[in-house]
Chain A
Amino acid sequence: MFSLSLAQLRSQAHRLVATAVAIVIAVGFVVATLVLNDSSRQTVLGALASQYLHTDVVVAPDDTGEVAPQTLAKVASAITGNPAVAALTFDSSTYVSARLPGRAAYQFSQVTGLANDEVLRWQKLEEGSWPSEPNQIVTAVGRDLEVGSVVEIRIFGAEPGQETVQATVVGLTERSSDIASIGTPLFWAASDQARAWGATSGGALRVAATAGTTPQDLALTVRQTIQEIPETEGLNVRTGEQEAEALADALTSDTAVLANVLLVFAAIAVFVCALVIANTFSVLLAQRVRELALLRAVGAGAGQLRISVLTESLAIGLIASLLGLLGGLGVAAGISALAARYETPVPLAGITITWPPLAIGLAVGVVVTVIAAFMPVWKATRISPMAAMRPLDDAPVRSGGGLIRRLLGLLLLIPGAGAIWWGHQEYALHAVIGGGMATFLGTLLLARWLVPLLVSLVGRIVGPAGQVPGRLAALNATRNPRRTAATATALIVGVTLSTTIVSAAATVRAYGVSEIDETYPTDVAVSAGQGFPDDMLNTVTALPHVQAALTVTSAYLEIGRGRGERDSQNVQAINPQEASQVMRAVGQDMPTDGTIVFPSWGSDEGGWDYADGDKITLWAGQRKVELTVRRGSDNLNDVRMSRNDLATLKTADAEVYEIWVRLADDLGKSERADAVDAIARASADADPDSTLGGSAEARVSADEFLDTMLLIVLSLLGVAVIIAVIGVGNTMALSVLERRRESGVLRALGLTRSQLRWMLLWEAMLIAAVASAIGVALGAFYGTGAVTSLFRLLNSDGSDVPAVIPVGQLAAILIGATLSGALASVLPSRRAAKVSPVEAIASL
């Protein structure tokens, strides 16, 4: 029996190529994901381990972090002098604002003290020297800094006159030394210097053991010492190795989340692959019905046949999975090599190959193949030996057990749809998600009935365009409902998921852009320090890439209700007409003529007790104006009124407080930086103490983030769609083989070669079009539904986000998937058309 399996495999090898490709892709995906996850963790762990190479014990506050700084100092003095302790140091650090050379803006940065003791100083110097004098710092390579660069550092809470320091970079460490500082720049200074800039020793205490003392012994000693000191319950004593692992866990938990997300996509790819495999085997076995029956007739047991055919699937699964392993490793290595050259959110250097990912990949490939092959094998081997005796009939396959399937499908679909609707009304996201899954499963179950129905419907509508071949194609596509539906199902899954993401993204995007505009309404805001000259607005407006600008003036006014008490209040005045041109979103915080806007928090925190709609009066000397109160959003910190109302007061002490700038849209990254720099320079010239704010960068990066995420997710789902399209091609190839004789008859009766090709293309396109149409419809519904339900839940006021259906993109998916289906069937149909009618008729 085993030799029979091998002989079958050899003679059918070419028919299994597409299946193998599907398995290779799916397994490769799984393996690459797992290997990259491992590699990322190893990269981080390796870098961290080097930081704790000579640190034998770390004493640090546990997660609750409730330990007074003096306690650590007490611990230090208690263990100093212990014969097991060779050296100790505090990890101390602080935050500063730093301005890199050539930059206009300050950046939030971290300064950490270097250990005085050489043994505990773990940073690896690559260039230059360690700090030896005041105002010297060291940083890691790759931050656009060189030895000799000068960084301007602003110290928080420093004595007046000593806030700004010019620090010189005297050395550069290896890139891996600042692995823990993803995002914020990190500088190292001598520990005294760091303390002078505000570093506290609250972080951790590192201890080195004397020669002959193991880290474990030292940890024991330290623990015993600590027990005698009061208030040390919140301190953890760990060996350096344990600490490195704990840190790596914390650092890579984000990576782990990412890996989980990736694995979800891998699971989808595997699922689609399983559908393709199951389909291939059912077609292959259908072609071998006679042969199987013959074997039964000559005495093979059904079990023997089953084992024989399953052996085939095992072999193909094994071979393809091994290829998938190699492919996955190759992809992982490629991505890692690429990532090493850029600053990526996931640290990667080289790849780490361990057994589990390989074993999992192999197991997934083999098990999925065998399981997917099992149902078709089971059905095919239940054949009676009599089948071999009967003449080969071309009976169209009627799907058995269709009723149960249909019932089950409807049982999932209808309550599922109900759950979605109810969940949407009642703010129950779980119901929406559960309903979504149920309806999807229901649709897949109904596919065997729905797809042929739609195919014949569509075939009838567009049939005339396809002439005779088109009509034949529609008939052929519906003649084996099971096969057609299985082919379609693989594509439905891929297209539904892609469309879900695309339409969810479109809705999020439309909402996100307005949200981003609301969160970051002003591109650049320049705040005056000592005061701006009168023509400052003109100066700024004339700068390149500036589209519009306005001034915010501020004045002290007396406010109060009617005759009662008056308070002095700083009020900012904005011209509402100008605001609508300069700001990207004019929200509830913008005053109109006749209103005054107060922060929402005022009433609770003892500022003002004015409510929405109250009338209050503002005085400047003798003049007064009556305004209506409006409460603004949580983000508002100032009291705002219209410039026109302020003008009626003709107050003398109003001065320019801020200048708000809107940059031109669609600026490139460097253009935007240039524009911000120019504004910074101009305002520094006019007022050295002026500061720059605004959200041009944040706005753009929020925008880009959305685009990047969408692209990544879509390319991941693309893998599933590619597998599904391979499946369409595969099914076409197999059904072409199956219909070889029929094609010959049609050719004999006068169907030309190109008509035959056209017929098969048309058939593939019909199936692909119907599958993608179902997928697109479901996906658009899921995508917009999920996002609107989610936002209903998130928006405190339960307001709705308008669903956006990206018609253009959906049409592109529909057409793209349909054409891919056609493309996938080009080769099979060419092969079919090449066969001469005689050969085809003769191949009984």
Chain B
Amino acid sequence: MSWSSPQHQQPGGWTDERQPGAGQQYRRPMQVAVRARGVRKIYGRGASEVAALRGIDVDFEQGAFTAIMGPSGSGKSTLMHVLAGLDVVTDGQVWLGETELTGLNDARLTRLRRDRIGFVFQAFNLIPALSAKANIELPLTLARRKPDQGWYDSIVRRLGLTERLQHRPAELSGGQQQRVAIARALLPRPDVVFADEPTGNLDSTAGAEVLSMLRSSVREAGQTVVMVTHDPVAATYADRVVLLADGAVAGELFSPTTDSVLDALRRLGR
């Protein structure tokens, strides 16, 4: 399976603002959206103990698109879960902006996820009973907030969902479902959008579309996106790649290309 490279991909649907150049970097005064310090995560006890994360120190810059990569079982998903407040760490600290997540109780974590974090999962994970529109608005509905109409319209237009809003998830293609999931993640203007293998269940065309849209949300709207992937082509859409191996950070790449990512991965797997 091969991804068409981002250089040949026209970002479809976004109508306003500049066309970003390939590999072009947005440089702002460095502000950290998510910060992890000494994060350890141990599953199980005694003989069956598995150390999924063994002391992670990493920062994710605001307004940047970061990919987390590494071999299967290296702890990518686990890291994302603890960064997103879905799971608690065994040791160490995690901050979202100024807020320390470690130590918050379930109710406060839930509220924090609702108000400040967006998710895009591999398996789309839309609520089958709700229409696309209701799915997109769900986090705001849960927070009892009204969506900003202009922002809503522009997201829907850019994601090409205008015609699909009244459909149920089962009536949408995989790519369309994932675009609904992205719209759902973007609408509340969260501090960070976490995406775990967002293209894992998609064919290459649909996958490329989804990645372009994530990238343009970063470039054009300043959204912070952290994406877990094992696909080198997907990683080239990001500004920076953080490499994991055996539950520890094993390096990073800026302005990744397919070749540089493959190279880095090969070196990890040695």
Contacts and interface: CB of A to CB of B under 8 A. Distances in A.
B174 A394 contact: no
A838 B81 contact: yes
A751 interface: yes
Given A748-B113, A838-B86, A396 B139 contact: no
Nearest to A841: B121
Given A396-B168, A479-B128, A836-B87, A749 B107 contact: no
Contacts of B125: 741-742, 745, 841
Contacts of A479: 128-129
Contacts of B110: 747, 750-753
A842 B142 CA distance: 23
A476 interface: yes
B201 A749 contact: no
Given A394-B169, A468-B142, A751-B142, A745 B106 contact: no
Contact of B170 (A393, A468, A742, A752): A393
B127 A742 contact: yes
A750 B129 contact: no
Interface in A393-416: 393-396
A841 B113 CA distance: 15
Contacts of A755: 142
Nearest to A477: B129
A652 interface: no
Contact of A749 (B138, B168, B170): B138
A228 B130 CA distance: 94
Nearest to A742: B127
A478 B125 CA distance: 19
Most chain B C-beta atoms within 10 Å of own C-beta, residue among A749, A753, A837: A749
Contacts of A836: 86-87
A83 interface: no
A396 B128 contact: yes
A406 B81 CA distance: 48
A339 interface: no
Interface string B157-198: 000000000001110001000000000100000000000000
Contacts of A513: none
Interface string A462-477: 0000001000100110
B170 A396 contact: yes
B237 interface: no
A751 B109 CA distance: 10
Contacts of B138: 749
B221 interface: no
A750 B139 contact: yes
Contacts of A749: 113-114, 119, 138-139, 142, 184
Which one of A479, A742, A838 has the highest number of Cβ atoms from chain B below 10 Å of its Cβ?
A: A838
A700 B113 CA distance: 68
Contacts, number: 77
Contacts of A753: 106-107, 110
Contacts of A396: 128-129, 168, 170
A844 B113 contact: no
A472 B129 contact: yes
Nearest to A839: B87
A842 B122 CA distance: 10
A335 interface: no
B4 interface: no
A472 B114 CA distance: 16
B143 A395 contact: no
A391 B121 contact: no
B7 interface: no
Interface string B101-145: 000001100110111000101010111111000000011011110
A746 interface: yes
Given A391-B174, A745-B125, A750 B130 contact: no
Contact of B87 (A394, A745, A838): A838
Contact of B127 (A393, A745, A747): A745
B121 A745 contact: yes
A752 B169 CA distance: 23
Nearest to A746: B127
A748 B169 CA distance: 18
Contacts of B184: 749
A742 B144 CA distance: 20
Contacts of B168: 396
A750 B86 contact: no
A10 to B, nearest CB: 22
B111 A752 contact: yes
Nearest to A392: B123
Interface in A745-783: 745-753, 755
B16 to A, nearest CB: 28
Contacts of A475: 129-130
Contacts of B129: 396, 472, 475-476, 478-479
Given A753-B110, A844-B123, A748 B86 contact: yes
Contacts of B121: 745, 841
Given A395-B128, A475-B130, A844-B123, A750 B169 contact: no
Nearest to A837: B86
Contacts of A750: 110-111, 113-115, 139, 142-143
Contacts of B87: 836, 838
Contacts of A746: 127
A752 B107 contact: yes
A751 B110 CA distance: 7
Contacts of A844: 123
Among B127, B169, B174, max chain A CB count under 10 A is at: B127
A332 to B, nearest CB: 47
Interface string A730-753: 000000000001100111111111
B87, B110, B114, B126 interface centre (most CB from chain A within 10 Å) = B110
A742 B77 CA distance: 18
B91 to A, nearest CB: 18
A574 B55 CA distance: 105
B170 A394 contact: yes
A494 B44 CA distance: 47
Nearest to B84: A748
Contacts of A476: 129
Contacts of B141: 468
Nearest to B118: A749
A451 to B, nearest CB: 16
A611 to B, nearest CB: 76
A429 B201 CA distance: 64
30 contacts: A391-B174, A394-B170, A395-B170, A396-B170, A472-B127, A472-B129, A475-B130, A476-B129, A741-B123, A741-B125, A742-B125, A745-B121, A745-B126, A745-B127, A748-B84, A748-B113, A748-B119, A749-B113, A749-B139, A750-B111, A750-B113, A750-B114, A750-B142, A750-B143, A751-B110, A751-B114, A752-B111, A836-B86, A838-B87, A844-B123
Interface of B: 77, 81, 84, 86-87, 106-107, 110-111, 113-115, 119, 121, 123, 125-130, 138-139, 141-144, 168-170, 174, 184, 201
Given A747-B110, A755-B142, 9 more contacts: A396-B129, A472-B127, A475-B129, A749-B119, A749-B139, A752-B107, A753-B106, A836-B86, A836-B87
